[in-house]
Structure 1
């Protein structure tokens, strides 16, 4: 508290003595001191002034305090200066680090792009396809599928203009010319698509490995695939086989196929142990295929080999009809006679249909005999696989469900059964249309 007064003591009208003063710490607010006598007012004023002086001295900072305050203020200033300098330096370091990081990323990107471009320029389509099939596909697909891919590769890619083209130079235009050229040369749409699929798999892998930027096959147009419809024997032609051809050598295999719808490879791979005569059923668990094998000298040839069936659904059990059982019993009797006649050279491997020495039926000779067999009895010259079509078609015309037919044929999906094998005959179409007569 600090006071200011004019020391003018006066007597009020009420008889009391008074003096006024100002407290400068309270914005000069006026205060009053009262007393009964003038001396009493003087004493109170003196006491108040004394207290105000002590308070002012007490509040006044000492010299050491002033010095310390100055030092602290100076240190604070220095700290601010240092912090500002450090912040500036940190910003500079960060900017340098960012620049270095960006430079490193650019270098890595350039190196990656350079590596990618080098790989794209290094591989030709034919060299990459061969490497891709050997290292990425062979161990994950069936042996027959791999042989099929290699056959397409040798026939349509190896030592061709497109095969010698670098991956980095491959584009949709030159691929489109290949597919158009195949169509012009008479290849069907299915073959063209097989070539497309093979190239497409290899290019997709090259994109994934960043050897090329994009798959040029994504931008081509393929010829429209025509739906293939196999032929089927009529019911009359099927009866001709059962009634008149029992003495023929091929009767058992043809009759069994007509009664079971098995694939040719499944029939040829059938063993006696797969047949349960008591329960009148057989179990399909093998498929005879022609596969390419290489010898020690590097030469390769095709050999017959029993592999797993086409799909998991192909492993199935098929009930046997009377005619199927009859055909198997005929074959069993004939085979026993051959075993006795050629017992010196006969190698019994358990197969149902064999050559005279017990080995698997030779496919070329078998098919020649098959076509002679059909011609002899005036039956349509159809593929052996069309016996399977006949089985499905006849069941379909008799009103059997597509689901049951699918399971008997061993198709992976019912769509295949509906789209490929259930060819409706002219008789079936006429019967369907004739139902309209009952409506009109």
Structure 2
């Protein structure tokens, strides 16, 4: 095979038959410059084994023979990712998703591995990158960054910018929540909170937070809810959209978080009753929102939602949880009272039941005790 192979920077003693220092293999070959007609040497490397370097060499020589060879560009990881997000991914995703992915590149990827050449990034460097991120961020956040990188590097392989995707060799942090403790309210705390809001807040706030605790809707889904999505006759609410922020503007996105997020939820009679009362009092607004902003009559900003929620939590004297904690509280209450996990999954809009079971694993031991007790009562 044309070209030569070498292991660069090996620090192992000469008498050692096998390299254990992690030195990488490189392949050096000749190409003809199409502009000058002169031959010049090129080298690619960063391969873990000689076999990997030989595979790359075979591919290069094949492309040189059939005229499809494209010279690898010496782009850094940061340069490539910015170009990929701006010119490729931007056309495929919603504006808020594009902004989030761009923030991943600027805030996380560039500071850690952005200066490394695209073709020389190693699995070891990636693993360290994941470990460093995991010290400051959740496993889910690191997973999302890893998903972006894996997708971008798969595209780099298809574009002949690199010969292999090193991210496919590294395991991303698990997003399992089995050992994560979720803060939720007891039924007594829920009653205490709702009683306080009913006595001190405007009726729309009471209705909104009552709906949150009895439907499991996400914050964006509550804010984006329109009266056309509420069937007070059948006591159903349908989730069709969510409120998102992109380019510093708040707007309604027709597709919620996932396809499974489009769902219909049966409401308790008490919640339906409050929605009927609020529908009569609700101000007319251009988007026909169930909970329009009291200041602008448009979409309620998520931070305004959170500020009101935090204020009521403090006033009610209940345990401090985030506004998303109402969703966790809804699910935990149902599971703890024997509602089938599959039903809870559908009401929450989770893509798989595994997500539901992993998220609310802390409820399962008590459910198993109740099941064993019921079995005992039936058989003995």
Distance 2:86 2:354 in 1: 33
Aligned residue among 144, 158, 164 for 2:115: 164
1:231-263 Cα offsets, whole Å, 9 max, x none, are: 221111122234443132321111011111111
Where 1:246 maps in the other structure, the secondary structure is helix
Aligned residue among 101, 107, 132 for 1:155: 107
Asked if residue 261 in structure 1 is aligned to residue 212 in structure 2, the reply is no
Aligned residue among 149, 168, 176 for 2:127: 176
Q: Within 5 Å, give how 1:233-382 maps onto structure 2.
A: 233-247=185-199, 248-249=201-202, 250-291=205-246, 293=247, 302-307=248-253, 308-336=255-283, 347-356=285-294, 357-382=296-321
1:174-210 Cα offsets, whole Å, 9 max, x none, are: 33333333345x3343333333222222112112222
Is the deviation greater in 188-197 or in 256-265?
A: 188-197
Residue 335 of structure 2 contacts residue 367 of structure 2 at CA under 8 Å; is this kept in 1? Answer: no
C-alpha RMSD over aligned residues: 3.1
Aligned residue among 369, 392, 395 for 2:334: 395
Where 2:163 maps in the other structure, the secondary structure is coil
Where 2:154 maps in the other structure, the secondary structure is helix
TM-score, scaled relative to structure 1 = 0.63
Q: Within 5 Å, give how 1:43-192 maps onto structure 2.
A: 108-109=63-64, 115-117=70-72, 119=73, 121=74, 123-158=75-110, 160=111, 162-183=113-134, 186-192=136-142
Where 1:191 maps in the other structure, the secondary structure is helix
Distance 1:332 1:277 in 2: 10
Give the number of aligned pairs: 313
Where 1:283 maps in the other structure, the secondary structure is strand
TM-fit CA distance, 1:424: 1.1
Task: Mark the CA change 1:112 to 1:382 in structure 2 (over 3 Å): closer, same or farther.
Answer: farther
Residue 393 of structure 1 contacts residue 422 of structure 1 at CA under 8 Å; is this kept in 2? Answer: no
TM-fit CA distance, 1:269: 0.6
Distance 1:107 1:254 in 2: 65
Task: Mark the CA change 1:213 to 1:269 in structure 2 (over 3 Å): closer, same or farther.
Answer: same
Where 2:198 maps in the other structure, the secondary structure is coil
Distance 2:62 2:316 in 1: 78
Asked if residue 212 in structure 1 is aligned to residue 158 in structure 2, the reply is no
Where 1:290 maps in the other structure, the secondary structure is strand
Task: Mark the CA change 1:238 to 1:426 in structure 2 (over 3 Å): closer, same or farther.
Answer: farther
1:265-308 Cα offsets, whole Å, 9 max, x none, are: 111111112222222222221111122x2xxxxxxxx2211112
TM-fit CA distance, 1:416: 1.9
Asked if residue 196 in structure 1 is aligned to residue 151 in structure 2, the reply is no
Structure of larger gyration radius: 1
Whose helix fraction is larger, Structure 1's or Structure 2's?
A: 1
Other-structure match for 2:323:
384
Runs of at least 5 residues in structure 2 that lack an aligned partner in the other structure: 1-59
TM-fit CA distance, 1:324: 0.9
Distance 2:268 2:62 in 1: 74
